[in-house]
Structure 1
Amino acid sequence: MTGVRNLILVLGDQLTRGLSSIAAGDPARDRVLMAEVHDEATYVRHHKKKIAFLFSAMRHFAAELREAGWQVDYVTLDADGNTGSFTGEVERAVAARGPERIVVTEAGEWRVAAMIKGWEERFCVPVDILPDDRFLSSIEAFAAWADGRKQLRMEYFYREMRKKTGLLMDGSEPAGGKWNFDHDNRKPAKTDLFMPRPNEIAPDETTQGVLALVADRFDNHFGDLAPFTFAVTRGDAEDAFAAFVDKALPRFGDYQDAMLAGEPFLYHSVIALYINAGLLDPLKVCAAVEDAWRAGDVPLNAAEGFIRQIIGWREYVRGIYWLKMPGYEASNFFGHKRPLPDFYWTAETDMMCLREAITQTKELAYAHHIQRLMVTGNFAMLAGVDPAEVHEWYLCVYADAYEWVEMPNTIGMSQFADGGLLASKPYAASGAYINRMSDYCGNCRYDVKQRTGPEACPFNALYWGFVSRNRNRIGNNPRMKQMVRTYDRFDGDEQERITQSAAAFLDSL
């Protein structure tokens, strides 16, 4: 046994040199532990690309720490003696290194945090759990903001974050005289031969080794492993972000809600996976976007829309997660019980919009927020799918998905399963919305202009069926009651056709 002062555990989504546990350490006296463990790769069947991204990024970060003078114990998935769990690997490290203390930055997921809290008693070694100061709002600060509020609306929290950071502020007032330019960011897009694409990084030797490991160990998981083009180092992630600012950010605002067949990225940054894993600093990213606006390189609606996603929405959903866990995952306001349709795993459906979104999810471990909210999420809610199954699917399939960010987005925003704690209305829509914001409907076998019948877009009858069966739950919602009134104006025969069309389609799933 070789005694060390602190054993510093670094988790797979904490790949940041400024991490609180590392910042508090001393390379001469402390030792870092990192481990690829089977439990974390399989507690849901994560997309193969997601597992490969994290393992490769972890291995590169361990090398970065060693170059900075740290002693790092790195346990690969296939290492002899790997116990397959964080607890098992910490136990082995404690026995081997005899640390005076275990130090860890607080975990992002409740499940892991609960595990860590039991280590001090189990190992008879003090465990210091430090705050994750990569976030602008601590868990405690968000709880204080939420205390006593009847509604926890993101918009008001976001304004507080703008004031706190000074981003896009002119003194005490928001730049441009408005806090939110979302109204300007809802334009449909047209195919453009010069549409930018995210940086693609060829796998280096380390990544190639990880890809072989994932292909061997996780072949039964969802998704395509090749081609693999994600950045896995800090430098490559920073280059990817810089390319987005230069090439795509100027048009991001206008077209952030648009969808085009065969164009999975449009003007999106595709950097959430890098921020959530720690390769990019969220505040520095936002500052760079503000600088681009102040230099006149991007319009204000693009800069504001991007910054709101990070200091507003990202911080807000993390706060909701910790405020409501454990138990938030069981929320089911509408009482939905239908199993998730098989086509969410296969993409084998005649609905063009769902086929596009799921196919690119399978290929890329990525879909942008409107595809998630208004296509796959909207359909699941209209069809009455159990929100717990929808939540698990999103957690499985996206490279940027961690429970703290994915669960509130699914349970609260996408499925309205929390009854309106997070969202002001159910994000339910018929085929008309998808037709307005995409080119999917023109190539679909269903007719988006028909409400009922075997040729009608299934979203249409499902939408009105959703309104009908939930009238008592949504009838007083200020943003939904008009739709209930519209349904009530349909004659009895039309209401019956809606019921029959929705039932026939759901029976065919």
Structure 2
Amino acid sequence: RLPNFGPYQDAMVTNEDTMWHSLISPYLNIGLLQPKEVIKAVENAYHQNQLDLSSTEGFIRQVLGWREYMHGIYIYMNPDYSQSNWFNHTQPLPDFYWHAEKTDMNCLRQILSQVERTSYAHHIQRLMVLSNFALILGVSPQAIEEWFHGAFIDAHDWVMQTNVIGMGQFADGGILASKPYAASANYINKMSDYCSSCAYNSRKRTGPGACPFNFLYWDFLCRHRDQLKAQGRMSLVLSHIDRISDQDIQQIHEEAFRWRKRQST
């Protein structure tokens, strides 16, 4: 798998549970494998011309550059880090996170079904679909972290609190990451084949058939615009709000409100 990891590590494909991901995170997280020995093995393979630089760098960065950074943040931060809620999000977690058949959004149904079956999803599925949707919907960070903790085979406090609370939900206000990882359906359509078989239109922002990722994304940006102004990497994205008419903004808020209300009942 590793030779193809670099070019395709962010890809999402229907009925492909693992793609070119190693699935060694459970073994690393319980100590059966040590990060240094894994990194050394990949480095040796590179020097023996078995791997290209893209796959070598991509893999080592995930282990050394990200996993160990998460561990360091967990050790450094106070115990109340897990209760962070910078956006004051309180929406309950949709029931379909536990029952994939209850959603008609293909990307979520595909990944959640996979999690039910294998207790695993790769990092882009976790961050840019599962965490992203909870973020723009306004789900309580503690509710989505609790779900990740219960649903995944590689879950531990230090793993999920940092990756979900800090990275996925930006609930620490930027201690860990430099921007919230919020995205519309456009990103998912570019990185996967999910949208082509979905009941929703990934290109529609509002109206019949519009993908919830779209109106929830713009609703999220509008609701938190003042807070997000301080995040330098958000300046360009926030400026795009000014291109949307007041009438369309109102419709975005109304559709987002109705969607949240349906999920809460």
Question: TM-score under structure 2 normalisation?
Answer: 0.97
Q: Offset at 1:486?
A: 0.8
Q: In the alignment, which residue of structure 1 is the partner of 2:92?
A: 339
- Superposition pairs of residues 59-74 of structure 1, within 5 angstroms: none
Contact 1:448 1:456 in 2 (8 A): yes
Q: Which residue of 2 aligns with 1:381?
A: 135
Q: Distance in 2 between matches of 1:351 and 1:325?
A: 37
How far apart are residue 454 of structure 1 and its match?
3.0
- Choose from 318, 323, 331 the match for 2:76: 323
Partner of 1:301: 54
Q: What one-letter code is carried by the residue in structure 2 that aligns with 1:258?
A: A
CA distance in 2, matches of 1:386, 1:264: 27
Structure 1 residue aligned with 2:182? 428
Q: Distance in 2 between matches of 1:449 and 1:489?
A: 17
Aligned to 1:264: 17
Structure 1 residue 396 displacement after superposition: 0.7
Q: How far apart, CA to CA, are the structure 2 residues paired with 1:325 and 1:405?
A: 15
Paired with 2:170 and 2:3, the residues of 1 have a C-alpha distance of 32
How far did 1:325 drift? 3.1
CA deviation map 1:238-291 (0-9, x unaligned): xxxxxxxxxx10010111111001001000000100111121122111111011
Output the CA distance in 1 between the equivalents of 2:77 and 2:109.
33
The alpha carbon displacement at 1:382 in A equals 0.2
1:397-442 Cα offsets, whole Å, 9 max, x none, are: 1111111111100010000000000011000000000000000000
Structure 1 or 2, whichever has the larger Rg, is: 1
Any idea what the Cα deviations from partners look like across 1:160-207, whole Å, max 9, x if unmatched?
xxxxxxxxxxxxxxxxxxxxxxxxxxxxxxxxxxxxxxxxxxxxxxxx
Q: CA deviation at 1:493?
A: 1.1
Unaligned runs of 5+ in 1: 1-247
Q: What pairs with 1:363-374 in structure 2 (closer than 5 Å)?
A: 363-374=117-128
1:452–1:498 CA contact under 8 A, matched in 2: yes
What root-mean-square deviation, in Å, do the aligned CA atoms of Structure 1 and Structure 2 show?
A: 0.9
The structural deviation recorded for 1:367 is: 0.3
Letter in 1 for 2:27: Y
* TM-score where L is the length of structure 1: 0.51
Q: Contact 1:441/1:448 (CA < 8 Å) preserved in 2?
A: yes
| Counterpart in the other structure of 1:275 | 28
Structure-2 residue corresponding to 1:289: 42
The 3-state SS of whatever aligns with 1:479 is helix
Equivalent AA in structure 1 for residue 216 of structure 2 = L
Judging by fraction of residues, say which structure has more helix: 2
Letter matched to residue 205 of structure 2: R
Distance across 1 between alignment mates of 2:119 and 2:37: 25
Q: Which residue of 2 aligns with 1:477?
A: 231
CA contact (8 A) 1:329 1:407 kept: yes
Letter in 1 for 2:30: A
2:207 equivalent in structure 1: 453
The separation in 1 between residues aligned to 2:105 and 2:199, in whole angstroms, is: 7
Which 5+ residue runs of structure 2 have no aligned equivalent? none
Higher relative contact order (CA 8 A, sep 6+): 2
Q: Contact conserved, 1:454 with 1:501, CA < 8 A, in 2? A: no
Which residue does the alignment assign to 2:152?
Answer: 398
Cα deviation code 1:8-56 (max 9, x no counterpart): xxxxxxxxxxxxxxxxxxxxxxxxxxxxxxxxxxxxxxxxxxxxxxxxx
Percent identity between the aligned chains?
50
Answer yes or no: is the 8 Å Cα contact 1:461–1:498 preserved in 2. yes
